[in-house]
Amino acid sequence: MTTAAISVDKLNVSFGDSHVVKDLSFEVRPGESYGLVGESGSGKSTVLRVLSGLNHEWSGQVAIEGKSQPKHRGKAFHRAVQMVFQDPYGSLHPKKTVDDALAEPLAIHGIGDAQARIGRALSDVGLPASFRFRFPHQLSGGQRQRVAIARALVLEPPILLLDEPTSALDVSIQAEVLNLLSAIRKERNLTYILVSHDLAVVGHMCERLMVMQFGRCVEEMDVEALAARKPQTAYAQQLLTASEGFRRAG
């Protein structure tokens, strides 16, 4: 049996009195794309923040490529796992150029050959080399999200955590960013965890998904079950029906 790329066992997260993730366990296979869906407050983003090392208050087991992870992660972890955030307007430093944003992770990890790597990362995400010395305000939302993806990819991690990567973007731009993410995954055999409230996006991007509610796993299913509208639980069914738009009674 191959080692799971990500394995989470009995994860619990509490903020003060509120217990936001409850006994959550799941595994993601190498090269797989795994979706986390649920409504706000379901704990899906918190799971991602724990996995990425941004949240230190948790209990349970988190293992990346077989290695159990401490609360505070080391450099090696960050070379293996990178994250892309929801809001490209908030996740790029407004006073740093694209070049600065991409150079920083390379400097932290003491990786040489920065010039060539930055150039390659930009061309991988389909941005012209002339964008390299632009500031975020000189870019559109879709271009910013491409920069955020380039920043995540510049360390060449095998695992990407995607937190609603397209929900702040127009649908036509969403299509471009999703196509880019699919193409990169195929090319580099990456493992994705994609958090989204949009079932159609998860259906398009993932092979398996977990439906969460109130911090618990309601149901884990593969995408075929989603496309066939055959979830096992009432809540997942309700979510699926609600996502198909408004229905007038009678």
Give the residues lining the site for other proteins (CB under 8 A). 39-40, 141, 170-172, 174-176, 178-179, 182, 197, 199-201, 203-205, 226-227, 229, 238-239, 242-248
Report how far residue 112's alpha carbon sits from residue 143's, in angstroms, rounded to the nearest whole number.
Answer: 26
Question: Hey, what amino acid is at 77?
Answer: F
DSSP state of 17: T
Q: How far is the CB of 250 from other proteins (least distance, A)?
A: 11
Q: How far is the CB of 28 from other proteins (least distance, A)?
A: 21
Q: How far is the CB of 203 from other proteins (least distance, A)?
A: 5
Instruction: Answer whether 87's CB lies under 8 Å from 168's CB.
Output: yes
Report how far residue 135's alpha carbon sits from residue 142's, in angstroms, rounded to the nearest whole number.
Answer: 14
Report how far residue 139's alpha carbon sits from residue 97's, in angstroms, rounded to the nearest whole number.
Answer: 11
In whole angstroms, how large is the CA radius of gyration of the chain?
Answer: 18
Looking at the Cβ atoms of 6 and 205, the one nearer to other proteins is 205
Q: How far is the CB of 216 from other proteins (least distance, A)?
A: 17
Q: How far is the CB of 178 from other proteins (least distance, A)?
A: 6
Looking at the Cβ atoms of 110 and 250, the one nearer to other proteins is 250
Looking at the Cβ atoms of 121 and 239, the one nearer to other proteins is 239
Tokens representing 52 are 């990425």
Looking at the Cβ atoms of 112 and 128, the one nearer to other proteins is 128
Looking at the Cβ atoms of 108 and 200, the one nearer to other proteins is 200
Looking at the Cβ atoms of 130 and 172, the one nearer to other proteins is 172
- What 3-state class would DSSP assign to 224? helix
What contacts 5, CB < 8 A, 6 or more positions away? 28, 29, 30, 31, 32, 64, 65, 158, 159, 191
Instruction: Answer whether 221's CB lies under 8 Å from 231's CB.
Output: yes
Tokens representing 156 are 């060449």
